[in-house]
Amino acid sequence: MKKASNTKKVVMVGTFSAIAFILQMIGSMMGLKVGGFLEIEFSDLPALIVTFAYGPVAGILVELLKNLLHCFFTSTGFVGELANFVINGTFVGVAGVIYKFHKSFRGAIVSLIAATVAMSVAGIFANLYIMLPLYMPDAPVAVKMSLVLATILPFNIAKGVVVSAITMLIYKKISPILKFSGGRQD
C-alpha cells in the first residue's frame, strides 16, 4: 500500500510541476514585468498547493522541476531560474514545514505569513550576494541595495500575499481530490 501511495505522490509532483511550468511560460509570454526583470506569474501556486497536500519536500521538488524545465527556454543564463528556485523554494519550504506541524486554518495562515517573510528575506540576500553580482558585477553596492529594497523586496512581499490569498481560496476546494490521490489525510 505504501508503494502505491508513493507512486501517487510522484505522479502528483510531476503533474503539478508541469502545471507550474506552464503557468511560468504563460507569465513569460505575457511579458508583465516589474523593474524590467521580475515577472508577474503564478507558477508558485501549484508548488504551494502540493506543499500543503504532501509536505515541504514535494513543494520544493515542484519548484526545482519547474525551473529545470524553464532552463530550456531561458534568456537569463540560468540566473533567473536559480533566483526563482532559491526564493520560491524558501517560500514553499517554510510554509510546508510550519503547516506540517499545525494542520489547521490558523496554521495555514501562520505558515503563509512566515513563508512570505522568509521569501522576502531570502530575496534580499540571494539578490545582493548571488543574482545581482552575476547580472551587474560592476554596479556599486549602493545601487544594488537600492534595487533590492525599492523593487525586489516589495515585489516579493506582494507576490507572497497574492499567492497566499489565492492558495487559501482554492486549497480546501481541491484538497479532497489531492487526498483521494494519495495526499495527506488531515
pLDDT tier for residue 81 given thresholds of 50, 70 and 90:
confident
Give 152-172 pLDDT, tens digit per residue: 899 999 999 999 999 999 988
Structural domain contains residue 157: yes
Give 56-73 pLDDT, tens digit per residue: 999 999 999 998 988 887
Residue 164 CA to residue 173 CA, distance in Å, equals 15
Question: Residue 83: which H helix or E strand, with range?
Answer: helix 79-101
Structural domain contains residue 104: yes
Give the pLDDT of residue 32. 62
Inform me whether the pLDDT recorded for 2 exceeds 80: no
Per DSSP, the three-state class of 182 is: coil
Domain containing residue 138: CATH number: 1.10.1760.20
Structural domain contains residue 114: yes
57 vs 79, residue with greater confidence? 57
Give the pLDDT of residue 179. 67
Structural domain contains residue 36: yes
Structural domain contains residue 78: yes
Structural domain contains residue 102: yes
Give the number of domains in the chain. 1
Structural domain contains residue 185: no
- Residue 29 structural domain: 2-180
How high does pLDDT run on average in the chain? 86
In the structure grid, which three cell numbers stand for residue 177, read together? 481530490
Give the pLDDT of residue 37. 64
Range 137-149 burial, b when 16+ CB lie within 10 A, else e? eeeeeeebeebbe
Inform me whether the pLDDT recorded for 93 exceeds 90: yes
Give the pLDDT of residue 1. 43
Question: Residue 58: which H helix or E strand, with range?
Answer: helix 56-70
Give 121-156 pLDDT, tens digit per residue: 999 999 898 888 888 889 999 999 998 999 889 999
Give 31-42 pLDDT, tens digit per residue: 666 666 676 678
Residue 48 CA to residue 45 CA, distance in Å, equals 5
Structural domain contains residue 186: no
Inform me whether the pLDDT recorded for 186 exceeds 60: no
Inform me whether the pLDDT recorded for 10 exceeds 60: yes
